[in-house]
A and B are shown apart, each in its own frame.
Chain A
Amino acid sequence: MNLILDLARGMLRRRRRQTLVSVLGVALGVAFFIAIAGMMRGFQTYFVAQIIDVAPHITIKDETREPPVQAAMLASPEGAVSVRGVRPQDSIRGIRAAGEKLATLEAMPGVAAAPVLGGQALLRYGSRDVSATLLGLDPERHRRVSNIEKDMFAGRLEDLRATANGIIIGEALAQRLGVGMGDTISAISPAGVVLSMRVAGLFRTGIQNVDQGQGFVLLTVQQVLQNRPNTVNQILVRLADVTQAEPMARRIEARFGNRTESWEEQNRNILTVFVIQNAIMYSVTGAILLVAAFGIYNIISTVVFEKTRDIAILKSLGFAEGDIQRLFLVQGLVVGVLGAVLGCALGAAMIEGLAQVRFGVDTPAGQDRFVLSRDWRIYLIASGFAVASSAVAALVPARRASRLDPVQVVRGAA
């Protein structure tokens, strides 16, 4: 094998410039893959971490996945006459027996749960009206399922209890209303209840929708405002192990019957975007490596063509077909491995370069720079793919070389 390596080195050395170009081609493919994958993986992990951090891992809702079956259907499921336009029975909306369900959830290990009543309200200050989604919550329990307190820059969740009819709103919402801490605003609910509320806290999550249109009040206050006494329409759950969110959600749904969504289900649109992003990344870098592979194919083909005589003499000396094939396969692998090594170095340098970039403005994600992944597995995938494609590219000319008939070559040369 040493002999094969020496022979391969000698042959590649003769075509130094072409070899260098091929190595660079592979290196660029590997480097771009590392840089792009680093950016995307970094952003995706950061984004997912943000979601997991702010949003509850599991949300239990006051609805079922299928619309409830009507009484007429229940009475005669195989009825010959179908009645259309039956008005559904007016039932009180909300999670039934929320207290028991909460207790059941809390009893599970690694599970924290908090009741919430969400509802719309019109916030009025002077002549300005802004509609907002108000979340009625229990501060002590809510703190265990959400990190919203981390984003509060004025006041704390407990202040909801200390202040009569206190409300915590987003920074942008406060600006639209023109209010600050301690100001009193009116809240008008669809149920027609009007309450005077005092701003007890302000938060900034960086997510526009939340900052512009959300407010937090005490659960009991919200129940009065929405005129839904003792009602809870969501239970938020946080898990010690976030990876268990989806199976846990399914178990909860099976047990309670309520529609239960994991954070993955709630953010499925974003996660789908990630899948598409990854597909684009793989095809772009795959294309670069494909071009590089053609370069390798080209150089090995040229070497085989130029080295016909050498191949013939090696065969006449007693080299078998397998030896000849290995000789040229090794040359492709040498180009691939050199390219992968150079590409990893180049990719690491590109990652560090990208790390220096500052956007100058805060992105919605709350960062002014690229979030970069330096996962060693990215390097492994890129290198593995490069070396494998080099081997495949070299295989075709290597096989052709191995089948060369020395007699014909020697006759042709004479």
Chain B
Amino acid sequence: MTRRLVAEGVTLVRDVNLSFGHGEFVAITGPSGSGKSSLLYLLGLLDRPTEGQVLLEGQDTVGLAPPAMAALRLRHLGFVFQFHFLLPEFTALENVLIPIRKLGALEGEAARHSALALLDGLGLAPAAAKLPEQLSGGMRQRVAIARALANNPVLVLADEPTGNLDTKNAAAVFDIFERMTRAEGRTVLVVTHDPDLAARATRRVHLVDGAVVSDRQV
């Protein structure tokens, strides 16, 4: 894959050529403004490259119309951001249910059951009926991860997912990511500038000024 983005005369990501296999746990590191997040949004189909291709499961996505890209995000991708972005009016369970209901593959009790199982798997069963404001920061971020996993995505993209968490909660989040890659065979891409956490990934991509300067398998 090659992609480059030119916005307002600034090249955010230049001549990047990367491919990720199933079950890889990738940490994307680099100094501030190095284009880590931009790369993630390009890979997450939230943004389009000015040149090049983004292939998902062998399918080129650059020429797709916005609704088709939205459909791909819904079915194959899961996002976790630094901020949890849970809808404040809805309980943890309802938040996890939103992508499931949007996809519509599961309905009614089955959808509920699936969402509850996800929450339970992340140790959140008691929090299911609570509103985000009633949960701790670590729990909110885990609910956000559960929501990202709602439609069983092949690729999970996380942008500084532990940025607002203490070390204990941050480690718990990485535990979850490790399990997702090893046990569930998902690909996880994490943007982080915490070297301790990055060390837990199986592959580390380092960016400087929008270009890949190192790509190491561990």
The residue on A at minimum CB distance from B70 is A320
Whole-angstrom distance between the alpha carbons of A6 and B102 in the complex? Answer: 12
A414 partner, pick from B73, B74, B81, beta carbons under 8 A: B81
Could you tell me if B89 and A10 are in contact, using CB atoms closer than 8 angstroms? yes
In the complex, the answer to whether B101 meets A2 with C-beta atoms within 8 Å is yes
Q: With A309-B83, A411-B37, A414-B83 known to touch, is A318 a contact of B99 (CB < 8 Å)?
A: yes
Please give, as numbers and ranges, the residues of chain B lying within 8 Å of A309 by CB-CB distance. 83, 85
Q: Smallest CB–CB gap between A381 and chain B, Å? A: 35
Contact of A257 with B by CB under 8 A: no
User: Would A317 and B102 be within 8 Å (CB), given that A410-B81, A413-B83, A414-B159 are in contact?
Assistant: yes
A229: interface (CB < 8 Å): no
Q: Does B47 contact A (CB under 8 A)?
A: yes
State whether B89 touches A316 (Cβ < 8 A). Answer: no
Contact A406 B46 (CB under 8 A): yes
Which A123-152 residues sit within 8 Å CB-CB of chain B? none
Is B6 close to A, CB under 8 A?
A: no
The residue that B66 contacts in the complex, of A14, A313, A321, A411, with Cβ under 8 A, is: A321
CB-CB contacts of B64-108 with A at 8 A, as 1s and 0s? 001100111111010101110101111000100011011100000
Q: A317-B73, A318-B71, A414-B82 are in contact. Are A7 and B147 (CB under 8 A)?
A: no
B160 beta carbon closer than 8 Å to chain A: yes
Q: Given the complex of chains A and B, what is the CA–CA distance between A7 and B160 in angstroms?
A: 27
Please report which residues of chain A, range 363-414, place their CB below 8 angstroms from some CB of chain B when the two chains form the complex. Answer: 406-407, 410-411, 413-414
Q: Contacts A309-B85, A407-B47 known; A320 to B41 CB distance under 8 Å?
A: no
What's the minimum C-beta distance from A401 to chain B, rounded to whole angstroms?
Answer: 14
Check if A310 is an interface residue, CB within 8 A of chain B: yes
A406–B47 alpha-carbon span in the complex (Å): 9
| B21 contacts the other chain (CB 8 A) | no
CA distance A313 to B74 in the complex (A): 11
Known: A310-B87, A414-B159. A316 touches B79 (CB 8 A): yes
Q: How large is the interface on B (under 10, 10 to 19, 20 to 34, 35 or more residues)?
A: 20 to 34
Chain A residues with CB under 8 A of B89: 10-11, 13-14
How far, in angstroms, from A321 to B87 measured CA to CA in the complex?
18
Nearest CB of A to B68, in Å: 9
B102 contact from A10, A319, A322, A411, Cβ within 8 A? A319
Closest residue on chain A to residue B44 by CB atoms: A316
Q: Which residue of A lies closest to B73 (CB)?
A: A318
**A318→B70 contact, CB < 8 A:** yes
Note all chain A residues with C-beta closer than 8 A to B66.
Answer: 320-321
Known contacts A316-B44, A320-B67, A406-B46: A414-B163 contact under CB 8 Å: yes
- Other-chain residue from A310, A313, A322 in contact with B67 (beta carbon distance below 8 A): A322
Q: Report Cα–Cα, A21/B133, bound state, in Å.
A: 27
Q: Does A315 contact B (CB under 8 A)?
A: yes
A316 and B71: CB pair below 8 A? Answer: no
Question: B32-75 toward A: CB 8 Å interface, digit per residue (1/0)?
Answer: 00000100010010110000000000000000001100111111
- Give the complex CA separation of A312 and B41 in angstroms: 13
Q: Chain B nearest CB: distance from A1 CB in Å?
A: 11
Check if A318 sits within 8 Å of B102, measured CB to CB: yes
**Given known contacts A309-B85, A407-B47, is B79 in contact with A317 (CB within 8 Å)?**
yes
**Smallest CB separation, A190 vs chain B (Å):** 86
Q: Write out the residue numbers on chain B whose beta carbons fall within 8 Å of the beta carbon of A10.
A: 87, 89-90
Say yes or no for A81: interface residue by CB 8 A criterion: no
B70: which of A7, A14, A315, A407 is its contact (CB, 8 Å)? A315
A162 at interface by CB-CB < 8 Å: no
A414 neighbours in B (Cβ, 8 Å): 37, 81-83, 159-160, 163
A313 touches which of B41, B72, B85, B159 (Cβ 8 Å): B85
Which A residues have a C-beta under 8 Å from some C-beta of B? 2-3, 6-7, 10-11, 13-14, 309-310, 312-323, 406-407, 410-411, 413-414
Q: Can you give 8 A-B contacts (C-beta < 8 A)?
A: A11-B89, A313-B81, A315-B46, A316-B73, A318-B70, A318-B99, A323-B102, A407-B41
Chain B residues within 8 Å of A, Cβ to Cβ = 37, 41, 44, 46-47, 66-67, 70-75, 77, 79, 81-83, 85, 87-90, 94, 98-99, 101-103, 147, 159-160, 163
By Cβ-Cβ distance, the 4 closest A-B pairs, closest first, are: A318-B74, A10-B89, A313-B85, A320-B70
7 new A-B contacts at CB < 8 Å, known A3-B101, A320-B70: A3-B98, A10-B89, A309-B83, A313-B87, A316-B44, A317-B99, A413-B85
